[in-house]
Amino acid sequence: MTHENHALFTIFGATGDLAKRKLYPSLFRLHRKKMIHSHFAVIGTARSDWSNDRFRKVVAESLQDLNPTEQELNEFVEHFYYQPLNVTNTEEYISLQQLADELDQKYQLNGNRIFYLAMAPQFFGIISKHIQSENIISKDGFNRLIIEKPFGVDHESATQLNNEISAVFSEEQIFRIDHYLGKEMIQNIAAVRFGNNIFESLWNYKYIDNIQITLAESLGVEERGGYYDQSGALKDMVQNHILQIVALLAMEPPTVFSDEAIRTEKINALKAVRIFDTKEVNENFVRGQYGTGLTNKKGVPAYRSENGVKPDSVTETFVAGKFLIDNFRWTGVPFYVRTGKNMAEKGTRINIVFKSTPINIFRSVDEPICNTKKLPENILTIYIQPTEGFSLTLNGKKIGNGFDIDPTKLMFRQSVENLENTPEAYEKLLSDCLKGDATNFTHWSEVEQSWKIVDVIRHVWDQTPIDFPNYSSGSMGPQSAFDLLEKDGRQWVWCPFKK
Ligand code: BG6
């Protein structure tokens, strides 16, 4: 028996920000729900020479927002062990192997091991190699590897990285995190589509005019200027989160709801996303970089003045674009996407804009003889964050004389109580990994295809000079992002205010 919730978690990068902000609180929530209980242990590794006590103290501090009782805290942190490790030093892995075996015995973990690499990707290869060569992989239970983005910086480097980890772990053992896939409302895309015939039967080029995906952030790059300046919004958000959302919206219905079936359909959808040539990149994608301005009512500096950012940086902090999907279902339907830092508001949402009725038969008070105005489109909106829910805009008659049509919004927002109980994205992903369910992790073929789509855009932009900054902090991005839709005779559905 595998006893799927018996496991040893080895966290590489245990002193880092991700571990403290996300992993320890998520493990604690799982512990509180008894999804992991007596039979689990965590080994934290990093270069610093910490003791178990110091490690446990740091873990405990990371849980303060969850208001643990003293008993809960003690019961949880006593499962945490620290092992200093320089990942390039083979000898140091021997102690890690001994500790792993010891804890396996002590907590009866059945040889189930999860290796979490919360570290820079250049170390993924060397760590995987040592996990194997130093026998840290167990012979009995399961061995699973969780890795964080960025998975490479382009198709070539991602392939090389994948080759390195695949030399040790099979695809079924590799869990590539895209934390967006752990979000409740992203998982709800499948429920909305495949659980409601009124939508799925209209989910194609005949009835959908366009789809809009916005991942707007109201914060700047904060302390991550050094990383971000090398990356930019295209690689930081589009290659992973946005293309994953595109895949979920565009995929064909899977025959069963299994990780294999879903990922196969997502891969097929991504393969149908058109890889643009230079002319198409210039027509369909625009970029921006924030200047000074006001966000959350506070004055903020321009991107070029942020810590870790070059004063003449041409890294984009905003991307808007149009993907086209060349298949039977989606031909001619633009998938507009945009994401940026220091925008007017934090908001992640998807708007599905349906085609208007073929003609407007209603006479309005303004145009009593002949009505030239198209009826407003029906729009299904999926709110991902900060609020969660759906809305559907329908046309109804305006109260009063005549027959004016007024769009009405049917709205469902999660209650505060539900929101409070919503599991953290990382909590869900960790629990999925324990169950061996890879549905909400990205398969190598998805990563590979996403890089192919994004690489051509990057390449064209790298060859083309650009005048930055071109949008004010606190706005919804540069003018070019609005022009992109206007030239198609459309507009962004979500405008927190008119620019
Ligand atoms: C990360 C990016 O993947 O996603 C960050 O590296 C970004 O730059 C973050 O801020 C956004 O995630 P969320 O969950 O806050 O929307």
Q: Provide the annotated active-site residues.
A: 241
The answer on pLDDT for 1 being more than 60 is no
The answer on pLDDT for 305 being more than 70 is yes
* Ligand 1 atom nearest to CA at 180: 14
CA of 343 to the centre of ligand 1 (A): 14
The answer on pLDDT for 29 being more than 50 is yes
In the predicted model, what is the mean pLDDT of residues 461-478?
97
The answer on pLDDT for 206 being more than 70 is yes
Q: Which residues lie with the beta carbon below 6 Å from any ligand 1 atom?
A: 217, 236, 348
Higher pLDDT, 372 or 201: 201
pTM over 0.85: yes
**Confidence label for 181 from pLDDT (cuts 50, 70 and 90):** very high
The residue contributing the CA closest to ligand 1 atom 15 is: 217
**The dihedral of CA 286, 291, 293, 295: what is its sign?**
positive
Per the DSSP assignment, residues forming a β-bridge with 347 are 216
Per the CB < 8 A criterion, the answer to whether 86 and 92 are in contact is yes
* Ligand 1 atom nearest to CA at 219: 10
Higher pLDDT, 404 or 282: 282
The answer on pLDDT for 313 being more than 90 is yes
C-alpha span between 235 and 231 (Å, rounded): 6
In the predicted model, what is the mean pLDDT of residues 84-97?
96
C-alpha span between 393 and 209 (Å, rounded): 15
C-alpha span between 450 and 235 (Å, rounded): 10
The residue to mutate among 179, 235, 339, having the most atoms of ligand 1 within 8 angstroms of its beta carbon, is 179
**Six-digit token pair at 372?**
């030239």
Listed residue (79, 407, 460) closest to 283, CA to CA = 460
Per the CB < 8 A criterion, the answer to whether 482 and 336 are in contact is no
* Ligand 1 atom nearest to CA at 215: 16
Burial class (CB in 10 A: 0-12, 13-18, 19+), 194: middle
Segment 356-386, tens digit of pLDDT = 998 888 876 666 566 667 889 999 999 999 9
Segment 434-469, tens digit of pLDDT = 999 999 999 999 999 999 999 999 999 999 999 999
CA of 50 to the centre of ligand 1 (A): 29
The residue to mutate among 221, 241, 315, having the most atoms of ligand 1 within 8 angstroms of its beta carbon, is 241
DSSP notation for 296-318: TTEEE--GGGSTTS-TT----SE
The residue to mutate among 236, 239, 316, 426, having the most atoms of ligand 1 within 8 angstroms of its beta carbon, is 236
Share of the chain above pLDDT 90, in %: 87
**pLDDT score at 498:** 53
**Six-digit token pair at 382?**
């999926």
CA of 216 to the centre of ligand 1 (A): 10
Please state which of the ranges 160-169, 193-202, 335-344, 354-363 shows the lowest mean pLDDT: 354-363
pLDDT, averaged across the chain: 94
Listed residue (49, 112, 41) closest to 83, CA to CA = 49
Segment 39-51, tens digit of pLDDT = 999 999 999 999 9
The residue contributing the CA closest to ligand 1 atom 13 is: 180
DSSP notation for 195-236: S-HHHHTT-STTTEEEEEEEEE-SS--GGGHHHHHHHHHIII
3-class secondary structure, 357:
coil
* Ligand 1 atom nearest to CA at 231: 6
Segment 325-349, tens digit of pLDDT = 999 999 999 999 999 999 999 999 9
DSSP notation for 278-300: HHHHHHHEEEE-EEEEEETTEEE
Phi, psi of 466 (to 5 degrees): -145, 145
* Ligand 1 atom nearest to CA at 178: 3
The answer on pLDDT for 499 being more than 50 is no
The answer on pLDDT for 123 being more than 90 is yes
The residue contributing the CA closest to ligand 1 atom 9 is: 237
In the predicted model, what is the mean pLDDT of residues 167-176?
97
Phi, psi of 340 (to 5 degrees): -170, 165
C-alpha span between 180 and 202 (Å, rounded): 26
Please state which of the ranges 203-217, 361-375, 419-433 shows the lowest mean pLDDT: 361-375
CA of 273 to the centre of ligand 1 (A): 23
Per the CB < 8 A criterion, the answer to whether 229 and 304 are in contact is no
**Six-digit token pair at 184?**
């409740």
C-alpha span between 88 and 119 (Å, rounded): 13
Q: Which residues have CB under 8 Å from 251's CB, separation 6+?
A: 262, 265, 266, 268, 269
